[in-house]
Chain A
Amino acid sequence: MSAEVSTTVVDEKPPARGWPLQLKIGLLLTGTIVLLSLLAPSIAPHPWDTVSMRTRFLPPGPTYWLGTDEYGRDVLSRLLMGGRLSIAMGLGATIVSLLVGVPMGLAAGYFRGWVDETLMRLADVLMAVPPIMLGLLVLAVTPPSLWKTALAVGFVYIPLIARITRSVTLTLANEEFIQAARARSESNWYILFREILPNAWPPLLVEASLRVTYAILLGSALSFLGLGAQPPSSDWGLMIAEARSFIDRAPWIALAPGLAMCLLVIGINLLGDGLRERLDPRLKTRIGKR
């Protein structure tokens, strides 16, 4: 039995698979939008906040590619600048909810018992708070600003992230490699963050990408209500809010940020899906085996 493994081992790496199509498209969409927004100050064709009465409500044309709004400001420039705020808002909120939700879910799913009960009931309470109400509450007592909106939105999504993490952890905690870790006295910290978390990432990524898009939407809704970005600076939600009254006369003002938001949301979702497929080592080679 001595030579038994080495004789036949052809070094077979799993067939190198290209990036999934979703990932490519998602990356392209998201990347373009993020890049353009980042470069906004230098590539914006016109100043985003200069009011000019002579150029009000110009339809899209060679000078103003996406037209101008009711104060004569270039819609494209405002769109690019607003993108920064919207993306920052979405990412910020998601990061907040991940930072709190993931450890909560890990602990609840691994320790079970009263830890689980306490954390999950807490999450239930959070989940019962209507997001807009929470936003209103936080922002009503303090002057509104973008980071507070991000914090409020992130806060609202904590229970969702925590629930997903918990359910993934529940399954993983039963795996034998967790027992193996316990059999060498690993600390709970190590088991949660080094053994369980790396395996929990794929479903969490998908969830997080969904959360980014929802956060952008919710953030826009809060801005729409006047609780997020403050004029004259404007994220996409606020742009739509402002353009609402002119939608019959100048539909491009609302359409541009609406479309941009659509593209970003689709892009991020594709990105999340693609990443999950790409990252999960088990998904990669199950196919092809019989």
Chain B
Amino acid sequence: MLDIFDLTVRYRTSGGELEALSSISISAKKGTTLALVGESGSGKSTVALAAMGLLPQEAQIIGGTVRFDGHDLGAMSVEERRRLRGSRLGLVFQDPFSVLNPSLTIGSQVGESLIHHRGYTPREAFERAIGLLDEVGILNPKAVANAYPHELSGGMRQRAIIAGALAPEPDLLILDEPTTALDVTIEAQIIELLEQLRARRGLTMLFISHNLGVVRRVADEVAVLYAGQIIEHGATEDVLHRPMHPYAKGLLAAIPRIGSKQLRLASIPGRLPDLRKPPSGCRFAERCPFASESSTQPQTMRMVGGRGVRCANAELVESTPWPTPEATATQAPPRSEQSPVVSVRALDKTFRIGGGVTLEGWRLRRNETLLKPVDDITLDIRRGEVLGLVGESGSGKTTLGRTILRLIDPDSGEIRIGDELVSGKPQRELERMRRTAQIVFQNPDSSLNPRKTVGELLARPIRRFGLATTERMPTRVRELLDMVRLPSHYANRYPHQMSGGEKQRVGIARALATEPRFIVCDEPVSALDVSVQAAIVNLLADLRDQLGVAYLFISHDIGVVAHLSDRIAVMQHGKLVEIGDADAILNHPRHPYTIKLLSAVPRVDARSTSAGSGPPPLQ
């Protein structure tokens, strides 16, 4: 159906030409699902754009062909390509929140392509849209068709987008990270929908994702991309359970798994090579623990046991697992049963949304909605303990974290940090608490002031609390950088000169600058790639062991939480539905919501046979 052969794409950039794809060859047979896996910058989205014939202006196809059902896309005129896209290809993007036009109804957007490509009248298209919405499992399709995007939840929107992609009865569906922006339970539903649709319509799918758990569920074949090359290509089971290429091994080893607790996660050191001047030999050699003499030679795709591997040493290292690091500190300190570092009692916070006043008869009425993201929360965090906090988006995790730190003022309840009661104090008297309790944020791009160097960023909290003299400052900054394993010359860098993982390290160093005893980690690894995520999680674990800091570790990724936490708390609609020892929660969840959440997590190591059988449908 889709056949990409020897495709090389370059981007013209200000710093020279960048080879985004080097001799990519993939093909998806009719009715199968091919997954493209890789980290950011690997070129997966470029493949999708090339398959659609939608490469941007600055991209240049150097060589190779893209064939769709026998037609060469490169030989087509722009108009022909447009027609092909409209009638036989469907595209679903990552972010369901920005794809739909907020000022058009769902129905008209779903049916839009029918008007342009199938000659439907707007009325007919709308009718058909209702049918399609029904097909993608939307309950009240007529009402939804008349609704506007903002009235729909994320999962509903993604269903509507899929319906829109299905409208022209396409043969090939290209899905670019279709579930990344969604909660796990919703993700599970969307995956299930895709499987149903594939069976019913005989769709061919090109599925692009960084989430190996999701890929395992949907794909028949997997191609792993690294730095613009396919480094391993084969049946899903083979690649995900017995990876041969070192990078694939590393990627799989870096994923925290629920139920098998290791002290430290494996991580892949280093970063992607600069594709403006790609290394002449193996592109992964620099980061590869198995690199040998032959790695300096360009690697070619070889068939090894029914799959393609781009590594000369594949057979040699086949049975050697990716090295797992030892814990740097000897062992996690025994959890003391003494007084907790943080203790929260009956904490409440209500937000008023809307406001505004309407006249009701002769009376003024405030129309506002009350939202309770923190509803009667009680919890303790002991010294050196990691309390994992999980829940779906909107469950109040972030609000709870920030309320404990008094970044948001609570309505009622009691917060104690150390031995200090901080809930009743005015902001200016919180000096001591601010030193003891710090926070690490989710988005490394947003959490560091882009106008300040790393040195300035780290020095500020030290100066703010008078923790070092001006002469001692550079030494202290170096110590902090060393603690998060960044070289000391990074002090002169600006945030935009660092990678995401490095920025997150600086964010952690900044939190450590005040020598806190408690840190709220608000989704600290959610914006990072798997291999980088593993390194940051390890770093957090090391710091906990060395410094005895306690964390409130907020994440929607239950795998990461399971790996790092001593205890886990589950939140739903602002309420704590379950809290307890990590093992107990993971293995014997009691609350129905916890059970639902855990069963929705796509796992890489689960050994389900065919891609068609998923967990039971969720209500």
Contact = CB atoms under 8 A, between A and B. Distances in A.
A117 interface: no
Interface stretch (B7-15, B76-84, B152-160): B7-15
16 contacts: A1-B325, A1-B538, A4-B270, A6-B487, A11-B489, A176-B442, A177-B447, A177-B448, A179-B402, A183-B407, A183-B434, A183-B439, A184-B434, A282-B496, A288-B18, A289-B13
A5 B486 contact: yes
A185 B431 contact: yes
B60 to A, nearest CB: 14
A179 to B, nearest CB: 6
A2 B431 CA distance: 34
B290 to A, nearest CB: 15
Given A15-B15, A288-B13, 6 more contacts: A8-B269, A8-B270, A176-B443, A179-B439, A183-B437, A185-B431
Interface string B282-295: 00001100000000
Contacts of A125: none
A53 interface: no
A285 interface: yes
A185 B427 contact: yes
Contacts of B502: 5
A182 B407 contact: yes
B535 A1 contact: yes
Contact of B269 (A7, A177, A199): A7
A195 interface: yes
Interface string B258-279: 0000001001011100110000
B487 A5 contact: yes
Nearest to A15: B15
B382 interface: no
A1 B269 contact: yes
B328 interface: yes
B270 A7 contact: yes
B594 interface: no
Contacts of A183: 405, 407, 434, 437-439
B449 A177 contact: yes
B487 A9 contact: yes
B30 interface: no
Residue of A2, A4, A8 with highest tally of chain B CB at under 10 A? A4
A3 interface: yes
Interface in B1-55: 11, 13-15, 18, 20, 41, 46
Contacts of B20: 290
Contact of A5 (B407, B449, B485): B485
B604 to A, nearest CB: 21
Contacts, number: 118
Contact of B14 (A5, A7, A13, A287): A287
Interface in B483-540: 485-487, 489, 494, 496-497, 502, 505, 507, 510, 514, 534-535, 538-539
Interface of A: 1-15, 17, 175-177, 179-180, 182-186, 195, 198-199, 281-282, 284-285, 287-290
Interface string B455-469: 000001100110000
A15 to B, nearest CB: 4
Given A5-B486, A179-B441, A17 B14 contact: yes
A17 B450 CA distance: 18
A263 to B, nearest CB: 31
B409 to A, nearest CB: 12
A69 to B, nearest CB: 50
Given A1-B264, A285-B496, A290 B489 contact: no
Nearest to A2: B485
A290 B41 contact: yes
B496 A281 contact: yes
Contacts of B286: 7-8
B451 interface: yes
A113 to B, nearest CB: 11
Nearest to A285: B496
A180 B451 contact: no
A281 B428 CA distance: 34
A281 B494 contact: yes
Q: Which 4 A-B pairs have the closest CB atoms?
A: A4-B269, A8-B270, A176-B447, A176-B441
B430 interface: yes
A284 B13 CA distance: 12
A290 B505 CA distance: 22
Contact of A198 (B451, B460, B505): B451
A80 B267 CA distance: 68
A185 B434 contact: yes
A176 B441 CA distance: 7
A11 B264 CA distance: 29
Contacts of A9: 487
Nearest to A17: B14
Nearest to A13: B497
B338 interface: no
Contacts of A288: 13-15, 18
Contacts of A1: 264, 267, 269, 325, 485, 534-535, 538-539
B446 interface: yes
A290 B11 contact: yes
A3 B267 CA distance: 11
Contacts of A15: 14-15
A9 B485 CA distance: 12
A19 to B, nearest CB: 14
A1 B18 CA distance: 29
